[in-house]
Structure 1
Amino acid sequence: SQAIKANGFVFLSAQLPADSSCKLITGSVKDQAHKMIQNASHVLEAAGTDLEKVVKVNLFVKDFHMVADINEVYGGYFPQKPARTTTQMPFLLAGADMMMDMVAVVDKE
């Protein structure tokens, strides 16, 4: 599944820079990073939380040279600077250039 709630957290996996039909978008690294994070934001909102409550991010990139551009975009969405690991992986899901997993706190209802 894309996400699951457990013990006060929501765990998101394999967030990609894809459109609503699940097709990977083309464009700059920054365009792809915006789309990937926006997609994650929608999933978090559906789970009852948001980007401000993200505590851990795993970022996977096809080429480590992309990280500087991703960081420029990332900082605008995550001013709280959650813990993050960035890993270069030559083969990502669906041939994507980048992919993101994250963990966010869900407030008690």
Structure 2
Amino acid sequence: MKKVITIPNAPAPIGPYSQAILKNDTLYVSGQIPLDPKTGELQIETIQQAAKQVMENVKALVETSGLKMTDVVKCSIFLKSMSDFAEVNEVYASYFQVDPPARETVEVSKLPLDVPVEISCIAIR
């Protein structure tokens, strides 16, 4: 049975999708953008600020689902510009200090609300 995860401390979906889905022991977190769930405003002054907000949104969904960031096994990072790779990587690494998950990072031409970064993940209990 799948369970839709909707929590107040992650941005509400801006389309027809769930913030996350928990199926058995596996959590699928939809792509998170740098939208502050408290203010509804984008946090995009710097790429570091954007990446931190994205990771905080991911973390909120993972933890509210009863899992930990150490349970994350796969991430997908989408960047508007690969020139932001080093800065995003630095922020991302601070959330996965031991045994980081598998991942890919790709440059895309456009992201929702024209943000510079979006990250999704899969976690397993």
Q: Same fold (TM over 0.5)?
A: yes
1:42 equivalent to 2:60? Answer yes
Distance across 1 between alignment mates of 2:41 and 2:108: 20
TM-score normalised per structure 1: 0.91
Give the percent of matched residue pairs that are identical in Structure 1 and Structure 2: 30
Alignment-derived partner of residue 94 in structure 2: 76
Deviation track 1:6-64 (CA, whole Å, cap 9, x = no partner) reads 13110001211111143311221111111110111011111111211100000000000
Structure 1 unaligned blocks of 5 or more: none
Deviation at 1:75, TM superposition (A): 1.0
* Pairs within 5 Å for 1:44-59: 44-59=62-77
Matching of residues 1-109 of structure 1 within 5 Å: 1-20=18-37, 21-79=39-97, 80-106=99-125
Alignment: residue pair count: 106
Q: Which amino acid aligns with 1:71?
A: N
Higher helix share: 1
Query: How far did residue 105 of structure 1 move?
Result: 1.3
Equivalent residue number for residue 15 of structure 2? none
TM-score (norm 2): 0.80
Give the residue type in structure 2 aligned to 1:99.
E
Letter in 1 for 2:56: Q
CA contact (8 A) 2:44 2:116 kept: no
Letter of the structure 2 residue corresponding to residue 90 of structure 1: S
Q: Over the residues paired in the alignment, what is the CA RMSD in angstroms?
A: 1.1
Structure number with higher relative contact order (C-alpha < 8 Å, ≥ 6 residues apart):
1
